[in-house]
Amino acid sequence: CDGNFMLSRNFRLQKVGSIDWVFKNYDIENITNYIDELMLINLSREKNSNKLFLNNLKKLSKKTFIPITVGGKIESEKDVENLLDSGADKVLINSLFFKNPKMCQSISKRYGKQFLMGSIDYARPKKKVKVFDSSTGKFSSLGIGKWIDHLLKFGAGEVLLQSMDHDGTGNGTDLQILKSINKKKYPLILMGGVGNHDHIVNALKNKNIDAISTANIFNFIGNEFL
């Protein structure tokens, strides 16, 4: 975000340091030996932040040889081209599925479904599961199952479910959300709440989960987690 690496808890952001700080304080090359994929998301609200983000993506891509999935501020195929030129291997799209799903479909047709990961942010206001649209700050009227169908219809090849309530807490993943989903033939990734090894192991025991994504645990535990 604006050149800085961020921590997130319940979608509230806290600055950690610049990309150079990350390289100095994290053993990036070692960490990537233990994960399958790296996700990088541009969270900046500034209009002119893309150049700085792309430069940081280039720096990061030179430090790792695993696939990098990149999201945030993707509005067009040109944005995708810029990300690819800067080191991205795949894209993660969230808001564009609300604003312009046909553009998502066009990106998918051009690069393939395996190239496009659809992201869903969700919460439980008043204990009812709701899909959140970060571009408007409002919840969708569609249920999470129908929203997954929407993502798949318009080109997503896999789905990332991110719990806003569990985000950054370290209290465990939201396995209850799986009761709201009729799992079909697409990879499903769960994100939010991982605080220890057992949280990952227990989640992956569920046949509907294909992968777990985590971020903050590396900030607090670092290499001891590996």
Q: Give the single-character DSSP code of 37.
A: -
132: tokens are 């959140």
- Rounded Cα distance between 41 and 90, Å, is 12
Residue by residue, DSSP assigns 57-72 as: HHHHHTT--S-EEEES
Identify the active-site residue in 79, 121, 167, 174.
121
Active-site residue 121, yes or no?
Answer: yes
Inter-CA distances, 8 with 11, 23, 69, 164, Å = 5, 19, 18, 10
Measure the CA–CA gap between 27 and 166, rounded to whole angstroms: 26
Q: How many CB atoms are closer than 10 A to CB 176?
A: 10
Angle at 61 between CA 56 and CA 65, to 5 degrees: 160
Region of residue 127 (left: phi > 0; alpha: psi -120 to 50; beta: else): left
Assigned token pair, 35: 């994960």
* Nearest Cα to Cα of residue 177 among 218, 144, 219: 144
Sign of CA dihedral 52, 108, 141, 184: negative
Which residues are catalytic, by number? 121
